[in-house]
Structure 1
Amino acid sequence: MTIETLKIKEELRDLIDTYAYLGDEKKIAEQMGLFTPDVIYKAYMGDFLAADVSGTESLEKEFNGHASLVKTYFTMNGQHNVKIDGETATGVSFSQLKMIREVEGKDILTDYSVKYDDKYVRQNGKWFIKERTGYFLIIEARPIA
């Protein structure tokens, strides 16, 4: 593995970690800067396609709508495997995502185990997410004290 490959892998890992951090902080407008303008974003809840959005303008509306319903986000990223092909790359990453929402006066914690399939592109020396598909594989919700 070359130093250049290691550098690219680090840049791509930083990209997905920044995505998680900005999402947790509800900095949605800043998060949009991580995507290409023509991004394709999909989310599956089990076999159900829950989101299918194209373009950062639509994605920002989608994310803001969702964030307005959530009191707190907390994300931990795990494995991140990438394949680099010049100015493009593909990646698979895994995350544990927790959300607290208020339902009928009670705080409900929803715990998601998520696998992301990504396509990345480097433009002007910077990596962006071109496509992101999230597979929400395990979903558990429970009230918290």
Structure 2
Amino acid sequence: MKTLCFAIILSSLFTMTYAQKTVEERLQQIEDRMALKALVDEFSILADRKDVATQVLLFTEDAKVETMNNGQAVSALVGRKQIGDAFANFLALFEVVYHINGQQTVTIAGNKASGISYCEVTLVGDQNGKKMKTKMGVHYKDEYVKQNGKWLIANRQSTFAWRDVQPLGQ
């Protein structure tokens, strides 16, 4: 009888520990998903502010960014310096940069994750003396790495799916 009671108590303790660990793992996954969404949103907010110096810190030191347009790679950048220079040069072409982020899916495996995020970007700038508005549908295929407790973008493939250019106000 004592052996049976001991086995039941031991089994209960094991079950409680297992259940607690499952809750902790679930909580960590929720926190990681929220952090990854915040990372993508912060990237867009910093682009809108043209704060490239802070934006590049969202990438790993050796990050890679590939830009796709019409199914073709149009640029491949490696490292924060190259990424920052290219982003700054591009953003300087526009008076207004405005991102609206949409859906995101992520798969998390420990300190690594991958995901796809969708975004609509509006750019306002001068073209031949006329204010023009460019709207683009973009999706980012990302690989993330958690370093020192913080999620960073390690690889990004930016795909520009569509583009609409028209005079501002139309």
TM-score (norm 1): 0.97
Q: Is residue 33 of structure 1 aligned with residue 33 of structure 2? A: no
Code of the residue aligned with 2:154 in structure 1: it is K
Distance across 2 between alignment mates of 1:6 and 1:107: 43
Q: Normalized per residue, which structure has more helix?
A: 2
1:82 match: 106
Secondary structure of the corresponding residue to residue 75 of structure 1? strand
Which of 106, 128, 141 is residue 117 of structure 1 equivalent to? Answer: 141
Structure-2 separation of matches of 1:49 and 1:110: 20
Aligned-partner Cα distance in 1 for 2:36–2:71: 28
| Deviation of the 1:2 alpha carbon | 1.0
Higher mean displacement: 12-21 or 47-56: 47-56
* 3-state DSSP of counterpart to 1:33: helix
**Which of residues 104, 118, 124 is equivalent to 1:100?**
124
Q: How far apart in 2 are the matches of 1:8 and 1:129?
A: 13
Percent of aligned positions that are identical: 28
Q: Which amino acid aligns with 2:37?
A: R
Which structure carries more strand by proportion? 1
Gaps of 5+ in 1: none
User: For residue 11 of structure 1, what is the aligned residue in structure 2?
Assistant: 35
Indicate the residue corresponding to 1:127 in structure 2: 151
Cα drift, residue 44 of structure 1: 0.9
The amino acid across from 2:168 in the alignment is I
Query: How many angstroms does 1:48 deviate by?
Result: 2.8
Considering only aligned residues, what root-mean-square deviation do their CA atoms show, in Å?
1.0
Distance 2:106 2:129 in 1: 43
Residue matched to 1:67: 91
Question: What CA distance in whole angstroms lies between the structure 2 residues aligned with 1:144 and 1:126?
Answer: 39
Computing the radius of gyration over CA atoms, which structure comes out larger, 1 or 2?
2
Deviations 1:94-124 (A, max 9, x none): 0000101100111111110011100000011
Residues 21-79 of structure 1 deviation map (CA, whole Å, 9 limit, x = unaligned) = 00000000000110001010011111232221000001111011111111110001000
SS at match of 2:99: strand
Q: Secondary structure at the match of 1:2?
A: helix
